[in-house]
Structures are given as structure tokens and as C-alpha cells.
Chain A
């Protein structure tokens, strides 16, 4: 019984914690620009993040080693350090985007000035992470993030042509007017892939497995949570694409802000739908902000051998605690300089995919290493084949991301 509860909670929190500000913005915008034609990329990314999280979680459960411990061990000091610095800069950027998102969302509820709300968000996040245990953070933000399911209902009531939705899952490129449109399509494909496969999710997932004290007996639990959690999380992404396609595409509007996405909910579900959507976005962004800042601290601590973990009192994991505190503070400061939150979101998504192969690769190598994982827990031929396939996919996406950002002028076409 306890196991079933744990499984259920794990799946729900994985689902609720799946969407963050970049995924929201890009999914709705992708729907507005290309209808359902990018849904297959959501599916591709979902299988990718499932494979990646499953491997990282399995290695964490079997060997008790989280991602950056492996990176240091396998890539050596120099390459590992570069990966660490890059990964943590991207974490900081993502955390910044989330705090910006929280401030925007709070503004929608309160009407107060944006910068003060960013400061308030900082205070809120510091307090919550300081006070709550890891399990409660997961539950509160994962479960309340399920308010995002409002978009699921909205997508349903928007009455899309389900046949066309299904056709969107068939990989392909639509017929477009000009070459710049094709480049834009490619840019959105890369961005959607990145937003589904954000690397911090994996660091956090593997470290979280250790926070929860998983052991080799939890390999099956890991598999189920990784698969079902990511798939359900992606259903939300699909719903967002559908909302974009149904609400904004007919009007030739390209939405950019969280509040615009919320209109999809108000349109179908009225005022309460609006409030639920805004609330869901708040918990989803706050959850992601917490995950990114903790990931930054996990990564650094695991690379340098510091005691880490929310399960330890802050005093016994002091440098770890200081690291996440500093990450929050830096992120909030960046927002308070007045940078455009929409651009921060965009850069966070693009740079995430650039570093993805470098954190993916060591996990893939270790998970496939019979000598390290043992016959029983190493990748089978299927996991290996899928794993290497995705290494190719994410490498391609990483190589294309920045050139596409430039030629499409930041997704403007």
C-alpha cells in the first residue's frame, strides 16, 4: 500500500513538476505558429527525457552516484569542470527565467510592480526551500502544479480537430511559404525538444532519487515514474500546443507571455479557469525555480565532494545550502536589473540544449557499462540503441540551436 501511494505521488509530482516557463511559452507559441505540426517533436522529446531520466535514476539507485559525480569520474577534471560551469550557468539562466515568470504571474493576480514582485518571489523561494523538507517541496509544488491540468480541460473544450491533432504526431515538416519559414520551423523544433528535455530535470531527478534514499530495489519504481511521469507531463505540453493552435493561430497572434496563455483557459472555463491556470503556472514556475537552484547546488557539491542534500540539516551541508541561496539571489538580481523576461526564457531554452549532450553522454556510457552497473542493471540492447539514437538527436539539436537562434533572429522568422 505504501508503495502504491509512493508510486502515485511520484508520478503526480513528476507530472506537475514537468512544465516550466520556457516550455509553456514555446509550446503555446509553437501551436500559434505551426498548429499541430510540432507535436511529434514533443513526443520525440518525451521519449528522450524518459530514457535520460530512467538511466540517471537507475545509476543513482544502483551505484548511489548522481550525475555530476559521474561526470567528474568519467570525463575527468578538465572537461568535467567545463561541463559543470556551463550547466550551472544554464541553471542560473533557467532559474532567472522562472523567477521572472513568477513575477509576471503574480502581477496578473495582484497588479503590483514587477520588480517588487521579483523581490517577493526571492523571499518566498528562500523561505520555502529553507523551511520545507525535500519531500514536502516535491509534494507541494508537484501536486499544486497539477492546476496546470486546467490547460488540459481548456484544450478539450476548445474542440480541436482530433484527427489533425493525431496527424501532428507523425514526424514531418509542413509545406511552408519561404525558406525563412522552414528555418523558423526548425528553430521551434529544436526549442520544443529542448524545453521537453531540459537538462536540469535529469540532475534533479537523479539527485532526488538519492534524497529519497533509493537503492537497487527501486529500479522498477524508477522506471515506472520516469516513463509515466514524463508521458503525463508531456500531455500537458501537448495541451498547451493545442491551446496555442486553437486560440491564437486563427487570429495570427504569436503569444509570448504567460498571461496570454491563460486566456486560453478564461476563454473556455471562465474566470475560475483563468485563476486556476494562473495558479498552476505559479506553482509550476516556482517548482522549476526550486529545482534549478537546487540542481545548481547538487551539481557543484557532487563535483567537489561536498556534503549535499536537503535531507541533511543546512548546517551539515553548509556550502550546499549557501550555493542554492546564492543561486536564488543572483537570479532575482538579474530580473531586477529590468532585463526582458521573455528573452531570458528564450536564451535559457536555447542554451539548455547546447549543453545537453555533454551531460547526457556520461550517463549513457555508465548506464551501459556492465562492469560498473552489473549484468542485471546495465542497459540492455534496446536501452542502448535508444540511448545512442538520442545522443545523436540531442547532439544535432545542440549544434543547430545557436545558428538557428541567429538566423531566425530569436525566433522571429
Chain B
């Protein structure tokens, strides 16, 4: 019997083009332009919370002497960048007016988190800095957790 696997050629080409075009368009246009709602604010807050939690973990590990100075500095910087990106999204215009209080609170926490991560950078060499960053980040983690709970439906 003859194999005619070629025959799927004319069907496959448009299928892949459609799939990829659709995928590309949807993934770039879809999430980017939608106005933020309560749910996405919660996501942003829990992202901030994760960074605060990791920051605390880094500070603890630094205190335990398990990390190198460069590692602490770079890791804090990488996380700070992520926080800055999230903070840029946290403006009342991006969300509905009914959320503005929570948005402002989240933005404020994000700013403080950035500051805390900034001071974490030096924690690799300085025990005192590490200790205060740990406390600071643990506090922010708690505050962000509470805000996250508030935002859960």
C-alpha cells in the first residue's frame, strides 16, 4: 500500500499559520489591555507578597552564612526589579474607582518593599543590615498577606 502522508500538507499549513497567528495576537493583546479588576489586583499583591517572603528567606540565609555577598546583592536587585515592574501597574487609573483605596495601599507597600529589598542588597556583608532587612521584609509579608486576604472574594 502506498503511503500518502503528503496529503496532510495542504491542510496543515493554514492550520499552523492560524494557530500561531492566533496565539501571538491573543497572548500579546489579551492580558495587556484588559482593565485591572479585583482579581488581578489580588494577583499583583500576592506577587509582591512572594517577593517579600523570598526576601525574608534570603535575609535569613544570609544571617546563617549560607550565601555569598554577591548572591545577596544580585538576588535582591533582581527581585527589586520585578517589584518595580509590578508597582508601575499599581495606579488607580489602571483599576476601577471602587478599588482605589486598596490600589493605593498596594502601591505604598510595593514602594516600601522596594526600599526593603534595596537595603537587603548590603545584607551579605553586614549582619545588622541583614537583621533589620529580615524584620522589615517579614512585616511587609504580613501586611501584604492581609491585603491579599481582603481582596479574595
Which residues 62-118 in A have Cβ within 8 Å of B in the complex?
74-83, 86, 104, 107-111, 114
Residues of A within 8 A of B9 (CB): 75-80
**CA–CA, A78 and B13, complex, Å:** 6
Using A75-B6, A86-B20, A180-B39 as known contacts, say yes or no to A104 and B78 having CB atoms under 8 A apart. Answer: yes
Residues of A within 8 A of B50 (CB): 252-256
The count of chain A contact residues (Cβ–Cβ below 8 Å) is: 63
B75 in complex: contacting residue of A180, A259, A270, A369, CB < 8 Å: A259
Using A82-B13, A358-B16 as known contacts, say yes or no to A347 and B53 having CB atoms under 8 A apart. Answer: no
Using A256-B82, A358-B12 as known contacts, say yes or no to A351 and B6 having CB atoms under 8 A apart. Answer: no
Identity of the chain B residue whose Cβ is nearest the Cβ of A89 in the assembled complex: B20
Complex interface bits, B19-42 against A, C-beta within 8 A gives 1, otherwise 0: 110110011001100000001100
Residues of A within 8 A of B71 (CB): 108-109, 259, 262, 274, 278
B23-A402 in contact (CB<8A): yes
**CA–CA, A14 and B26, complex, Å:** 35
A347-B54 in contact (CB<8A): no
Using A251-B57, A252-B53, A253-B54 as known contacts, say yes or no to A274 and B68 having CB atoms under 8 A apart. Answer: yes
Complex interface bits, B129-147 against A, C-beta within 8 A gives 1, otherwise 0: 0000000000000000100
Tell me whether B5 is interfacial, beta carbon within 8 Å: yes
Interface SS of chain B: helix, strand, loop or mixed?
helix
Using A78-B9, A371-B3, A412-B47 as known contacts, say yes or no to A263 and B31 having CB atoms under 8 A apart. Answer: no
Tell me whether A350 is interfacial, beta carbon within 8 Å: yes
A271 in complex: contacting residue of B40, B43, B65, CB < 8 Å: B65
B75-A257 in contact (CB<8A): yes
B8-A79 in contact (CB<8A): yes
Tell me whether A385 is interfacial, beta carbon within 8 Å: no
Identity of the chain A residue whose Cβ is nearest the Cβ of B1 in the assembled complex: A371
**CA–CA, A274 and B20, complex, Å:** 40
Residues of B within 8 A of A215 (CB): none
Tell me whether B70 is interfacial, beta carbon within 8 Å: yes
B31-A410 in contact (CB<8A): yes
Complex interface bits, A120-160 against B, C-beta within 8 A gives 1, otherwise 0: 00000000000000000000000000000000000000000
Tell me whether A260 is interfacial, beta carbon within 8 Å: yes
Identity of the chain B residue whose Cβ is nearest the Cβ of A260 in the assembled complex: B54
Tell me whether A342 is interfacial, beta carbon within 8 Å: yes
Residues of B within 8 A of A406 (CB): 26-27, 30-31
A274-B66 in contact (CB<8A): yes
**B6 to A: closest C-beta gap in Å:** 5
Tell me whether B74 is interfacial, beta carbon within 8 Å: yes
Tell me whether B49 is interfacial, beta carbon within 8 Å: yes
B57-A354 in contact (CB<8A): no
Residues of B within 8 A of A278 (CB): 71
**CA–CA, A350 and B19, complex, Å:** 13
Residues of A within 8 A of B31 (CB): 406, 409-410
**CA–CA, A260 and B52, complex, Å:** 12
Residues of B within 8 A of A83 (CB): 12, 16
A79-B68 in contact (CB<8A): no
Q: List 19 A-B contacts (CB under 8 A).
A: A75-B12, A79-B12, A79-B13, A86-B16, A108-B75, A111-B69, A111-B70, A252-B145, A259-B78, A260-B75, A263-B61, A274-B71, A275-B68, A365-B3, A372-B3, A402-B26, A409-B43, A412-B43, A412-B47
By Cβ-Cβ distance, the 10 closest A-B pairs, closest first, are A76-B9, A79-B12, A253-B53, A111-B70, A266-B66, A412-B43, A107-B74, A402-B23, A259-B75, A79-B13
Other CB < 8 Å A-B pairs besides A76-B6, A76-B10, 11 of them? A79-B10, A104-B78, A247-B57, A252-B50, A252-B53, A253-B53, A254-B47, A256-B82, A260-B75, A365-B3, A409-B31
